[in-house]
Amino acid sequence: MLLVTSVWPSSATYNRSTVPSFARRLIIFGLLVAALLSFASPVMAEGEAIKGTLIVRLDDVRSPVEGVTMIVSQDGTEIGSGTSDAEGHWLIPVPGPGIYQVRLDISTLPEGVTLTDPDKVELPEVEVTEGQEKTVLFPLGEGAVSTVSTFERVGTLFVAGLKLGAVIALSAVGLSLIFAVTGLVNFAHGEMVTLGAVLAYFFSTSPAGPGWPLVVAAVPAILLGAGFGWVQDRGLWRSLRKQGMGLISMMVVSIGLAFAMRHVILVVFSGQRRLFSDYTGQSPVTILGIPMVPKHLVTIAVAVVVLGAIGLFLQRTKAGTAVRAVSDDPDLAESSGINVDRVITVTWVMAGGLAALGGIFFGVNEAVQWDMGFRLLLLIFAAVVLGGLGTAYGAMVGGFVVGVTVEMSTMFVPSELKSAIGLLLLIVMLLVRPQGLLGSRERIG
Amino acid sequence: MVADQPFAEPVPGVAKSDPVLVVDGVTRTFGGLVAVDVGHLEIQRHTVTSLIGPNGAGKTTLFNVLSGFDNANAGEWHLNGGSLVGIPAHSVARRGMVRTFQLTRSLARLTVMENLLVADQHNPGERLRGALLGGWGAAEADAKERAAALLDRFGLSTMVDEYAGSLSGGQRKLLEVARALMVGPEVIMLDEPMAGVNPALTQSLLTHIQTLRDDGMTVIFIEHDMDVVQEISDWVVVLAQGAVIAEGPPSSIARNRVVIDAYLGEHHGDAAP
Amino acid sequence: MDLVAILRDGFLAMIGPVTAAYAIAAISLNLQFGYTGLLNFGQVAFLAAGAYGTSITVEAGGSLWLGIAIGIMLAVLLGAMLGLPTLRLRADYLAITTIAVAEVIRLVVRSSWAEPVTNGVFGIQGFANAFFDLNPFPPGETYGIGSWLVTGRRLWVMIVSWVVVLLLLLLVRRLINSPWGRVVKAVREDEDATRALGKNVFNYKLQSLMIGGAIGAIAGILLAIEQQNVTPDAYLPNITFILYVIVILGGAGTIVGPLVGALVFQFLFFTFDAFMASSQAEIGWLNTLISPAEAGQIKLILVGAGLMALMVFRPQGILGDPDEVTLDGR
Ligand SMILES: Nc1ncnc2c1ncn2[C@@H]1O[C@H](COP(=O)(O)OP(=O)(O)O)[C@@H](O)[C@H]1O
Ligand SMILES: [Mg+2]
């Protein structure tokens, strides 16, 4: 067992369960310095761990199960894994208190042994408190081993990729359109995604909220997200444009905004990972021999419809044509009688609503968390660069390409390196074709 | 004056007696739009050659391509016989062909003096090694002397320590020309240097341009105002829809029907904003 | 409430080695952003490169000094890796790439895949003994007047860190006041104009990014040595944005701006901590209103809002020339 005694004190700002005396201790010991670096790191006290014992009942005889791989992860990042010993015991040290996910690798179960409840292959919210060795249970029983064929695996990952791609594409289109009409890469776009999910959580699941079904709750969440886009443009960006602030400075402002918003959400929503009450434990249905979770399919379908509608809006409507004209050449658009300011506001409103929608789907398919948008932002960037910064269709195509590539890559690389694959796509694209799949060369120099 | 003894026939694409720059089949398209399509063009050494044409004729784009700021779709061009195809912009400048921009680009938060010093090509302190090791003082002093002389010539010597960003529009135009000269070019390409400059300054700028030619430089300059063009050019090249439709001495251009139709006729009103 | 104690805590934090390290990281960012105009949103990656390069080398049996050299080299390499694909493109591509690379580096060193080398989430500890062996001050002793005390261990780190700050300030001053610095500033003002004057803009940007990377690595190494600890979650993106606050607060594009920014920022940051802690100890109900954890989060909201406010209302910071900023009408 790995026991780490930390010399690294922490204010553990992201963890509400920390004892109040901690900040005082910080000062008394004059260890102020470390806090700055560690304000976001989990407390690393002595030996927090997650453990358990795997026992199977066969004909009323209890026998330990050896050699089963257990995996602990946090927010989709693998923390550690362990294997059960001859007594069925397993223990995986974790870096500190917090919420973890524990998964049992079914393929390592011996023949004839299976989970009594196949849905419980992963425990999504295992809370470990300071100094605790948390015990978790995986009830095992008799059963046939379900072998997963390569075809099934590829199919499942592909669908998962399309689902992730749908979330990315929905969120990315707004970022790309804002860039197209204003030249600004908005680094606070991720927080607009989080905002949508958090608002939907409030209206649907939060005890303080009205407790509407999620489909209903999504409506005010999207409207408020769009409204926030409006507020941002009218309250901030428009006046900065009028001031003649340079784009580089504006990007720094957007980073500040992202930082502030992220922590406002953290204070209000807390650092916990929370699930919507609707659509959580869906069991897969098999279509074309591939098990698919219904909510994934709904995500993909809705995204395709919404993105299609955006395409129609841009191509067929007057407002959409104006958006395209402003992205081509704002001065020319202005001189041909288009109200550029209004087009920009419309774009912000759209982007806010789309980001909120993307956030809701992200929350439905994974979980709602204060920094979910920032984590998604990296994939959004990969998508817009891949498709071509400033092109709406590029963001859509890029979103799906990134989603599918990232998910499929888990066949070859550990899943915790997923986002590294997204980044790799981004960098390769910059080297090979910096204007992106659908961009034109003139826009990048 | 060179113009008194024509060095070529006034025919588009005509060969010159001593060309410094030769352009061959250069095209540049944006999507479906052909911005530049120049068959053959030679620029005579030691002349002021004006490049005129209606708005959107492709003059700036041609400058961009020739100076390495944009890539041509096809074609070749040679400076003193050496090909410049694919040569990056900074190398083109180092080879002796320096351009200015239609929209003035001053280095706003550098002083007027610094603006000129940056343009010096011989300072060992511009390399990282030189900067760290020192020993660039002499080169710096030399450059300062040359810069001071240039600033004096352009009437900017009282502004030496001002930030370039605090100059008036006209002064910035002058600064940009002075800065380009500081590079020590053989060919200088000026993109509408008179635009937005008040009439008093215009006159002195014109004088400067002629002095440059007399100093042995070749000046290619884009200008809208036909009066100005008539006054100072030795040779005029007319561009319309990307192609050279006429070239010749100023007097012949003013009489040219093609030019009058393509350019003066429809655009006479909106020259020089 | 003991105001003197609060100010003392703020002051002691301000002169501490972490402030020095932040000043160094800010000097690096100032070279890249303040002087060259490079929008590096992944500065924390350079700190991580330095820290991991050092600690992994020691872990593998190398000396601390070799580790430091490797850490710095790693950061320079990272600078090249970030710059080569992006510096020919518009400024936002560098920003996008750096913010992504910094986060991915953290995720990779944290992963169980990299654990054999980086020790995953648990990180690497106790690699800087060689540094503390040189400490001339008995580590248990305290130095100072009254209750304004620092330990011998801390004093040693402080002295070394501040000397490094001074040396780096001199280095940057030499660079910036040279013709090289003039070209770099010209690049910041207008790339195309600089290119038209025969300067290889790409090279200058790359050099600035790489030198900045090396300086950033030094900051990361000092922090790691001070803590004797390198863990992935110490390299969150937050660090980068705090550095932006520091640089802009002090005055981007001024030589000592980063130093002033770091001092002021750290003083405010830790006085706030001390103030909250002290009031919470005295006023019991305050705890139920704002927990210490939340106080820390609110502080970060203020950091973000402060960055925006600075950019909008005082972009020249404390030391910058206000006239200069109004010229920046790009
Ligand atoms: N980067 C660009 N992208 C698309 N079209 C361009 C671009 N630059 C110039 N053009 C087009 O090329 C044509 C020539 O432009 P330009 O060279 O600026 O003309 P001039 O300088 O003669 O007024 C114009 O129609 C202009 O709209
Ligand atoms: Mg033009």
Give residue-wise pLDDT tens across range A380-415: 999 999 998 888 899 999 999 999 999 999 888 888
Residues B149, B24: one domain?
no
**C-alpha span between A54 and A64 (Å, rounded):** 6
CA angle B159, B163, B167 (to 5 degrees): 65
- Domain extent, residue B266, equals 2-106+185-270
Contact C196 B93 (CB under 8 A): yes
Number of domains into which chain B is organized: 2
Q: Nearest chain C Cα to B124, which residue?
A: C179
CB of B57 closer than 6 angstroms to any ligand 1 atom: yes
Residues B115, B101: one domain?
no
pLDDT at A433: 86
Residues of C in contact with A187 (CB under 8 A): 41, 95, 99
Gap from CA of A98 to ligand 2 centroid (Å)? 62
Structure-token match 């042994």, residue found: A113
Contacts of C125 (CB under 8 A, 6+ apart): A4, A7, C228, C229, C230
CB of A442 closer than 6 angstroms to any ligand 1 atom: yes
Contact C181 B131 (CB under 8 A): yes
Contacts 24+ apart (CB under 8 A), B128-135: B128/C180, B128/C207, B128/C211, B130/C178, B130/C179, B130/C180, B131/C174, B131/C175, B131/C178, B131/C179, B131/C180, B131/C181, B132/C174, B132/C175, B132/C178
Give residue-wise pLDDT tens across range C87-143: 988 888 999 999 999 989 998 998 888 888 898 888 999 999 999 999 898 888 888
Contact B128 C207 (CB under 8 A): yes
Residue B146 lies in a domain: yes
Given a contact cutoff of 8 angstroms between Cβ atoms, the answer to whether B51 and B67 are in contact is: no
Contact C328 B165 (CB under 8 A): yes
Residue B175 lies in a domain: no
Return the residue in C225, C311, C324, C330 with the most chain A beta carbons within 10 A, the one to mutate for interface testing: C311
Region of poorest pLDDT, from A104-108, B122-126, B247-251: A104-108
Is pLDDT larger for residue A306 or for residue C282?
Answer: A306
Contact A419 C104 (CB under 8 A): yes
Give residue-wise pLDDT tens across range C287-304: 666 777 778 888 889 999
Gap from CA of A107 to ligand 1 centroid (Å)? 62
pLDDT at A146: 55
User: Which ranges of B215-246 does DSSP label H, i.e. alpha helix?
Assistant: 226-232
CB of B59 closer than 6 angstroms to any ligand 1 atom: yes
Region of poorest pLDDT, from A14-28, A300-314, A349-363: A14-28
Q: Nearest chain B Cα to C253, which residue?
A: B109
Residue A412, class by beta-carbon neighbours within 10 Å (0-12 exposed, 13-18 middle, 19+ buried)? exposed
Torsion-angle region of residue C160: left (phi > 0), alpha (psi -120 to 50) or beta?
A: alpha
Return the residue in A15, A17, A25, A27 with the most chain C beta carbons within 10 A, the one to mutate for interface testing: A27
Give the rounded distance of the alpha carbon of B273 from its chain centre.
Answer: 19
Q: For residue A294, what are its two tokens?
A: 């219904």
Does this model's pTM top 0.95? Answer: no
Residue B116 lies in a domain: yes
pLDDT greater than 60 at residue A31: no
Query: Which residue, judged by its Cα, is nearest atom 26 of ligand 1?
Result: B56
Give residue-wise pLDDT tens across range B66-106: 999 999 999 999 999 999 999 999 999 999 999 999 988 88
Q: For residue A359, what are its two tokens?
A: 């956030």
Residues B189, B96: one domain?
yes
Give residue-wise pLDDT tens across range C250-262: 999 999 999 999 9
Residue B172 lies in a domain: no
Gap from CA of B60 to ligand 2 centroid (Å)? 4
Contact A423 C293 (CB under 8 A): no
Q: What is the CATH number of the domain that holds B224?
A: 3.40.50.300
Pairing of β A49-53 and β A89-93: antiparallel
Residues of B in contact with C189 (CB under 8 A): 106-110
Contacts of B89 (CB under 8 A, 6+ apart): B67, B68, B69, C192, C195, C196
Residues B116, B96: one domain?
no
pLDDT greater than 70 at residue C330: no
Gap from CA of C248 to ligand 2 centroid (Å)? 37
Gap from CA of B46 to ligand 2 centroid (Å)? 24
| Nearest bound ligand to the CA of residue B103 | 2
Kindly state the helix (H) or strand (E) to which residue C301 belongs, with its residue range: helix C292-313
Domain A49-58+60-142, classified CATH 2.60.40.10, yes or no: yes
Query: Closest Cα of chain C to A10: distance in Å?
Result: 10
CB of B171 closer than 6 angstroms to any ligand 1 atom: no
Output the CA torsion sign for A304, A309, A310, A316.
positive
pLDDT at A19: 34
pLDDT at C148: 84
pLDDT at C134: 92
Q: Which SS3 state, helix, strand or coil, does residue A205 take?
A: coil
Residues of B in contact with C186 (CB under 8 A): 107, 110, 114, 118
Contacts of A213 (CB under 8 A, 6+ apart): A204, A278
Residues B84, B98: one domain?
yes
Residues of C in contact with A251 (CB under 8 A): 39, 91-92, 95
- Across the interface, of A37, A257, A414, the residue whose CB is closest to C304 is A257
Give residue-wise pLDDT tens across range B17-57: 899 999 999 999 988 889 999 999 999 999 999 999 888 89
DSSP string of A120-134, one letter each residue: GGEEEEEEE-TT-EE
pLDDT at C326: 55
* 3.30.70, 2.40.50, 1.20.1070, 1.10.3470: CATH of A149-432: 1.10.3470
Residue B58 lies in a domain: yes
Q: For residue C140, what are its two tokens?
A: 């248990």
Q: What does the pLDDT average to over A411-426?
A: 86
Residue B66 lies in a domain: yes
pLDDT confidence bin for A3, thresholds 50/70/90? very low
pLDDT greater than 90 at residue C23: yes
Is pLDDT larger for residue A34 or for residue C244?
Answer: C244
Residues of B in contact with C323 (CB under 8 A): 163, 166
Residue B91, class by beta-carbon neighbours within 10 Å (0-12 exposed, 13-18 middle, 19+ buried)? middle
Residues B102, B208: one domain?
yes
Across chain C, where does the E strand assignment appear?
A: 124-125, 142-145, 148-151, 229-230
Residues B100, B121: one domain?
no
Residues of B in contact with C206 (CB under 8 A): none
- Across the interface, of C179, C192, C323, the residue whose CB is closest to B125 is C179
pLDDT at A195: 96
Query: Which residue, judged by its Cα, is nearest atom 20 of ligand 1?
Result: B56
As a whole number of Å, the end-to-end CA separation of chain B is: 30
Sheet containing strand A49-53, strands side by side:
A89-93, A49-53, A133-135
Residue B145 lies in a domain: yes
Gap from CA of B15 to ligand 1 centroid (Å)? 27
Q: What does the pLDDT average to over B130-143?
A: 93
Residue B79 lies in a domain: yes
Minimum-distance ligand 1 atom for the alpha carbon of B61: 17
DSSP C31: I
Report the candidate in B154, B158, B69, B162 with the shortest Cα–Cα distance to residue B115. B162
Domain borders along chain C are: 3-236
Query: Closest Cα of chain C to A61: distance in Å?
Result: 36
Domain borders along chain A are: 49-58+60-142, 149-432
CB of B54 closer than 6 angstroms to any ligand 1 atom: no
Residues B100, B208: one domain?
yes
Count the Cβ atoms, other than its own, within 10 Å of residue C283.
Answer: 11
pLDDT at A178: 95
Phi and psi at residue A122, in whole multiples of 5°? -130, 135
pLDDT confidence bin for A335, thresholds 50/70/90? confident
